Amino acid sequence: MSGDKRFYITTAISYVNGPPHLGHAYESISCDVIARFMRLDGYDVMFLTGSDEHGQKVEKTAQANGKQPQQFCDEIAALFKDMTRLLNISNDDFIRTTEPRHIRSSQALWKKLEANGDIYLGKYAGWYSVRDEAFFAEDELTKGEGGKFLAPSGAEVEWVEEPSYFFKLSAYGDKLLKHYKDNPDFILPHYRRNEVTNFVKQGLTDLSVSRTSFKWGIPVPGDEKHIMYVWLDALTNYITAAGYPDVDSASFKKFWPADIHVIGKDIIRFHTIYWPAFLMSAGIELPRRVFGHGFLNIEGQKMSKSLGNVITPKSMVDEFGLDQVRYFLMREVPYGNDGSFSKESMVNRINSDLANDFGNLAQRVLSFIAKNLGGALPIPGALTADDRALLDAAKAALPDMREAMKTQQIHRMLEAVWKVVGDANRYIDAQAPWALRKTDPARMGTVLYVAADAIRILAIYAQSITPAAAEKLLAQLGVPEGKRKFADIETPIVGGTALPAPSGVFPRYVEAEGAA
RNA sequence: GGGCCCGUAGUUCAGUGGUUAGAACGAGCCGCUCAUAACGGUUAUGUCGCAGGUUCGAAUCCUGCCGGGCCUACCA
């Protein structure tokens, strides 16, 4: 723990049972915005994403597709990697749980748990359906003919016992509760923390952490008939990528503990109970925060295969544009809540916030400069109180943005930025450079200079959310690539600089002619 | 059954005891014309879920009820 400016953020790793959907995209984009924001703010960031590739379901799905598990994983993992490129995700690493570094790391962690006396051999018992190749809880079962129990699929289940290693999770309840209490922001949003706390208070039972009934997983060190429980394996990815088990390595010392694990609300328990307990047992520092984000509804309905409304990231990006999709998802949905996507709300956001307010702001100023000042930034005269007020407002947004991002309130960060967009539009209307053109050309130049400098600051801010458009805009303003960090907002734009011909960065969304 | 969260303008939400409850989008009117038919100004809209209570004073605290969401347990 130190005040050094480094930041380690992770997404959940995606289970390769199926291709990426909008939910994966949402999580990746949100983490990317956080990661970019921290880089812009001068942090040395490690941003990790990846794929979770072991387990019975993958083994089975591969088989159903007539493929070896590894080949199947390679294919699906490639789709997830493609998605990160499609979405302009700035991850520094992409970890796959089938990689040697991860197998080594997982086995090392296992040995630590074992050495600490938290692993013991017992029996895993439960109702098993051979046809489904899965265990079921008693309340999932129904009674069929002759009193036999049936799985939800209708398949017969039988009582099965197999040897299994267990982790003494029951010994960690009080330690976990103390950790939640001492670190109130360990679990965000707060109502999730309440849920987890209540769950832990009810008492924890030991966790089965190995299986012998299938093969696709990481062998238990010293007893290779067993493979490790897929969650133990999966969670370990976060330390693997930091360099575990080489705890003395530069990267591990620098980046662990992670600052934040961003996950979906469905896997909070694994990240806030199991994972911290494993780390405590192994004597490894805990991550500083686990943030559970919500799910997206589509036109008011849950996204599901059976409803046939699953949206792929690609189809959405193709229709609306990448930066537009990124902006919409981050602005429309308070981060942590469930959100809803509808075409109507998407088009509203694109056209009002991006095209009309921000895009048009840049265009009205840049094209004015191009037409009336020969395409070179004007050299300003003395600044008036109004001029300084706009530039001060633009700079003053940064502390508000930082405050919002301390607790991942991405939508609030964006509100702070767009408030300045409004200020800049008002400034231009009030100063009316088109009138000054005839009466006071020197003052006109100053106004345009100030407006351009405010737009520069806004574009620097916008790099976290709409990176491609923001970079295009910065290029149009002649801002060098080395002068685009948050710290650079204090360095004014250089008057006299020749600018390239302007072109819009956020086009309006117009319904295609003849479309329904 | 236990617990948590939410119910505020047409819509999405902000607002945790104190003057006439706010923002954005949408709507009406006015202005401007540099700009992506964009921008700015202005107006209007609310019994702050319902009913009680505490208080000099409640959207804000307490109780009950109704409605929505979630976690969890049990009935088995």
pLDDT at site A232: 94
- Do A69 and A62 contact (CB within 8 A), yes or no? yes
Whether a cis peptide bond, with omega within 30° of 0, leads into A100 is no
User: How is residue A249 written in tokens?
Assistant: 């390595």
Nucleotide nearest to A139 in CA–C1' terms: B76
Distance from residue A504's CA to nucleotide B28's C1', rounded to whole Å = 31
- Do A487 and A394 contact (CB within 8 A), yes or no? no
Distance from residue A506's CA to nucleotide B38's C1', rounded to whole Å = 12
Describe the crossing of helices A322-332 and A467-476 by its angle, rounded to 10 degrees: 120
- Do A285 and A213 contact (CB within 8 A), yes or no? no
Provide residues 456-515 of A with CB closer than 7 Å to any strand B atom: 504-508
Distance from residue A425's CA to nucleotide B21's C1', rounded to whole Å = 28
Q: Is the CB of A249 under 7 A from strand B?
A: no
Q: Is the CB of A344 under 7 A from strand B?
A: no
Q: Is the CB of A199 under 7 A from strand B?
A: yes
Compute and round to an integer the Cα radius of gyration of chain A. 27
Q: Is the CB of A429 under 7 A from strand B?
A: yes
- d(CA A110, CA A83) in angstroms, rounded, equals 32
Question: How does pLDDT run along chain A (516 residues), one tens digit per residue?
Answer: 445 799 999 999 999 988 998 889 999 999 999 999 999 999 999 999 999 999 988 998 999 999 999 999 999 999 999 999 999 999 999 999 999 999 999 999 999 999 999 999 998 877 776 665 566 666 566 666 666 677 666 667 778 788 999 999 999 999 999 999 899 889 988 888 888 988 898 889 899 999 998 899 999 999 999 999 989 999 999 999 999 999 999 999 999 999 999 998 889 999 999 999 999 999 999 999 999 988 888 876 777 666 677 788 999 999 999 999 999 999 988 888 888 888 888 999 999 999 999 999 999 999 999 999 999 999 999 999 999 999 999 999 999 999 889 889 898 899 999 999 999 999 999 999 999 999 999 999 999 999 999 999 999 999 999 999 999 999 999 999 999 999 999 999 999 999 999 999 999 998 765 443
The DSSP output letter for A4 is: -
- d(CA A210, CA A217) in angstroms, rounded, equals 10
Three-class SS of residue A239?
helix
Nucleotide nearest to A504 in CA–C1' terms: B36
User: How is residue A295 written in tokens?
Assistant: 């799910």
ipTM of the complex: 0.90
pLDDT at site A255: 97
Q: Is the CB of A360 under 7 A from strand B?
A: yes
> Which of A321, A271, A275 has the alpha carbon at shortest distance from A293?
A271
Query: Which bases of chain B are under 7 A from a protein CB atom?
Result: 2-5, 12-14, 24-26, 31-41, 69-76
Distance from residue A323's CA to nucleotide B31's C1', rounded to whole Å = 34
Residue type, A393: A
Q: Is the CB of A381 under 7 A from strand B?
A: no
Q: Which residue has the tokens 């299994």?
A: A164
Strand partners, A494: none
Three-class SS of residue A211?
strand
- Do A358 and A462 contact (CB within 8 A), yes or no? yes
pLDDT at site A515: 42
Q: Is the CB of A269 under 7 A from strand B?
A: yes
Q: Spell out the residues 6+ positions from residue A57 whose beta carbon is closer than 8 angstroms to its own.
A: A15, A17
Distance from residue A203's CA to nucleotide B2's C1', rounded to whole Å = 15
Distance from residue A338's CA to nucleotide B50's C1', rounded to whole Å = 27
- d(CA A173, CA A232) in angstroms, rounded, equals 18
- Do A26 and A311 contact (CB within 8 A), yes or no? no
The residue whose CA lies nearest the C1' of nucleotide B13 is: A334
pLDDT at site A516: 36
Distance from residue A300's CA to nucleotide B47's C1', rounded to whole Å = 30
pLDDT at site A1: 44
> What is the phi/psi pair of residue A347, to 5°?
-65, -40
Q: Is the CB of A368 under 7 A from strand B?
A: yes
Strand partners, A455: none
- d(CA A190, CA A411) in angstroms, rounded, equals 17
pLDDT at site A147: 64
Provide residues 137-176 of A with CB closer than 7 Å to any strand B atom: 138-139
Q: Spell out the residues 6+ positions from residue A439 whose beta carbon is closer than 8 angstroms to its own.
A: none
What phi-psi label fits residue A507: left (phi over 0), alpha (psi between -120 and 50 degrees) or beta? beta
Q: Spell out the residues 6+ positions from residue A165 whose beta carbon is closer than 8 angstroms to its own.
A: A119, A120, A121, A122, A208, A209, A210, A220, A223, A226
Report the 10 Å Cβ neighbour count for A434: 12
Describe the crossing of helices A410-431 and A385-406 by its angle, rounded to 10 degrees: 170
Whether a cis peptide bond, with omega within 30° of 0, leads into A257 is yes
> Which of A243, A260, A244 has the alpha carbon at shortest distance from A38?
A260
Q: Is the CB of A184 under 7 A from strand B?
A: no
pLDDT at site A224: 93
> Which of A10, A32, A43, A52 has the alpha carbon at shortest distance from A288?
A10
Query: How distant is the alpha carbon of residue A59 from its chain centre?
Result: 28
Nucleotide nearest to A268 in CA–C1' terms: B71
User: How is residue A394 written in tokens?
Assistant: 């633009």
Three-class SS of residue A5?
coil
Distance from residue A343's CA to nucleotide B10's C1', rounded to whole Å = 19
Nucleotide nearest to A423 in CA–C1' terms: B40
- d(CA A38, CA A93) in angstroms, rounded, equals 17
